[in-house]
């Protein structure tokens, strides 16, 4: 019988530098120790989740102290360390995101190279960052958050950031529905398969994540080699069944990892001590789960959500327009507007807006049913 995948859960109450390092080291030690993953001279890519130019206290991006701890461990093991990602916005935003998120400073201080995922090679029809393909090891360092389409984002979804540039937005335009997008995300995970994932759940996010939700001081780090098993544990923390998360369901169905908590070797602190009883799902998901299952199938087709720009809050940075895969956002008389005839409701604009100026609103049916 195959050995159960190990997932370490380690309590870490805040982002104090030395405490984070000690907690990350403990978590990695519990799943084999850094030397099981990194040997001297290896090129190691540390891949955080840098969604947009938001400061660490907003909990939108992986906290720089968690990234620092992983990079430092990999360096101590003799690795030649790079830190890289492909944030939303794909153009001018990348440098700004590295700067504001604190990742650039960490890279400089830890002697790691900061890489933008500009060059890529086609693998199974997906442009995968050359930096990821040429690294001897990839260590994924995701953030634990809700996501308006995929319910949660953690270990498996973080690998999608290894797809370069605008192609990510094209994937959204091809697959606006959760189940279809999950297939693409899992395909990227199968191609990139990090050797280790260390999830930042010290301050997680619920509600309308991944960028406009509520901060949840959870005090948890998760580590392991099986990203599907880690996501199953993250779902448990959110009070969800692992297979309620479409990406976990798809990856499990494809045999890429374990989603049955009974078949995961949990080490470290007690997973059940981290379950958030009042975890709020994104509005887009919450409405659907509130509906009785028999009604859901008949109504689902008619339930629609759309992004609405609040011109009073909008700072006219242009990031939403730059990110939109179908050019549905234009400037009319200095005001950013969505053309709903073009919009495919992928909600990428909501994800990347650094100022929470894009709200997700339901259609008349959602108001009628849920008030």
Which is closer to ligand SF4, CB of 355 or CB of 370? Answer: 355
351, 349, 365, 366: which is closest to 309 by C-alpha?
349
Q: Is the Cβ of residue 268 or residue 307 nearer to ligand SF4 in the bound state?
A: 307
- Burial degree of 298 (CB within 10 A; 0-12, 13-18, 19+): exposed
113 is an interface residue for ligand SF4 by CB under 6 A: no
Question: Any alpha helices (H) in 217-272, and if so which ranges?
Answer: 227-237, 246-253
Whole-Å CA distances, 96 to 82, 92, 354, 365: 18, 7, 11, 39
Q: Using the rule CB under 6 A, is 149 a contact of ligand SF4?
A: no
Distances (CA, A) of 342 to 171, 220, 329, 345: 16, 41, 9, 9
Residues 350-369 close enough to bind ligand SF4 by CB under 6 A: 353, 355, 357-358
The count of other CB atoms within 10 Å of the CB of residue 123 is 16
Contacts of 225 (CB under 8 A, 6+ apart): 5, 6, 31, 32, 195, 196, 197
Nearest distance in Å: CB 113, ligand SF4: 29
Nearer to ligand SF4, 255 or 334 (CB): 334
- Under the binding rule (CB under 6 A), the answer on residue 345 touching ligand SF4 is yes
Residue 48 beta carbon to ligand SF4: minimum distance, rounded to whole angstroms: 21
346 part of the interface to ligand SF4, by CB under 6 A: yes
Q: Do residues 322 and 336 make contact, with C-beta atoms less than 8 angstroms apart?
A: no
Q: Least distance in Å: CB of 161 to ligand SF4?
A: 17
Q: What is the spatial distance between Cα 323 and Cα 318, in angstroms, rounded to a whole number?
A: 9
| Residues near ligand SF4 (CB under 6 A), total | 26
CB of 315 to ligand SF4, least distance (A): 4
Instruction: Spell out, one character per residue from 273 to 312, where the chain touches ligand SF4: x when CB under 6 A holds, - when not.
Output: ----------------------------------x-x---
Indicate the residue among 138 and 317 with the shorter CB distance to ligand SF4: 317
Comparing CB distances to ligand SF4, the nearer of 11 and 306 is 306
Q: 92 vs 121, which CB is nearer to ligand SF4?
A: 92
Which residues within the stretch 305-344 sit at the binding site for ligand SF4 (CB under 6 A)?
Answer: 307, 309, 314-320, 324, 326, 328-329, 336, 338, 343-344
- The nearer residue to ligand SF4, 94 or 266, going by C-beta atoms, is 94
E-assigned strand segments in the chain: 6-11, 43-48, 80-85, 113-116, 120-123, 126-129, 137-141, 143-147, 151-153, 196-206, 214-224, 265-268, 305-309, 329-332, 335-338, 358-362
List residues binding ligand SF4 (CB under 6 A). 307, 309, 314-320, 324, 326, 328-329, 336, 338, 343-349, 353, 355, 357-358
């Amino acid at each position: 019988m195959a050995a159960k995948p190990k997932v370490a859960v380690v309590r870490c109450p805040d982002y104090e530098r030395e405490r984070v390092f000690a907690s990350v080291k403990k978590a990695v030690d519990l799943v084999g120790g850094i030397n099981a993953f990194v040997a001297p001279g290896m090129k190691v890519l540390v891949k955080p989740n840098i969604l947009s130019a938001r400061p660490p206290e907003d909990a939108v991006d992986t906290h720089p102290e968690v990234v620092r701890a992983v990079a430092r461990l990999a360096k101590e093991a003799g690795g030649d360390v790079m830190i890289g990602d492909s944030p939303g916005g794909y153009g001018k935003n990348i440098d700004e995101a590295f700067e504001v998120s604190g990742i650039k400073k960490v890279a400089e201080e830890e002697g790691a190279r900061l890489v933008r995922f500009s060059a890529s090679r086609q693998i199974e029809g997906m442009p995968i960052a050359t930096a990821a393909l040429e690294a001897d090891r990839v260590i994924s360092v995701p953030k634990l958050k809700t996501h308006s389409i995929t319910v949660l984002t953690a270990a498996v979804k973080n690998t999608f950031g290894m797809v370069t540039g605008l192609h990510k937005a094209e994937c959204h335009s091809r697959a606006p529905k959760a189940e279809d997008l999950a297939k693409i995300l899992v395909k990227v995970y199968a191609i990139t398969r990090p050797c280790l994932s260390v999830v930042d759940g010290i301050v997680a996010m619920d509600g309308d994540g991944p960028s406009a939700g509520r901060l949840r001081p959870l005090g948890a780090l998760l580590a392991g080699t099986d990203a599907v098993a880690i996501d199953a544990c993250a779902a448990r923390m959110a009070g969800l069944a692992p297979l309620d998360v479409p990406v976990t369901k798809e990856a499990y169905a494809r045999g890429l990892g374990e989603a049955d908590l009974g078949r995961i070797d949990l080490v470290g602190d007690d997973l059940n001590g981290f379950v958030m009883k009042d975890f709020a799902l994104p509005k887009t998901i919450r409405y659907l789960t509130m509906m009785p299952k028999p009604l859901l199938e008949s109504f689902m087709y008619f339930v629609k959500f759309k992004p609405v720009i609040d011109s009073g809050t909008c700072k006219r940075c242009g990031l939403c327009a730059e990110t939109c895969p179908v050019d549905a956002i234009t400037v009319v008389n200095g005001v950013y507007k969505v053309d709903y005839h073009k919009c495919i409701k992928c909600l990428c604009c909501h994800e990347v807006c650094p100022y929470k100026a894009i709200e997700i609103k339901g259609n008349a049916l959602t108001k009628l049913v849920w008030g």
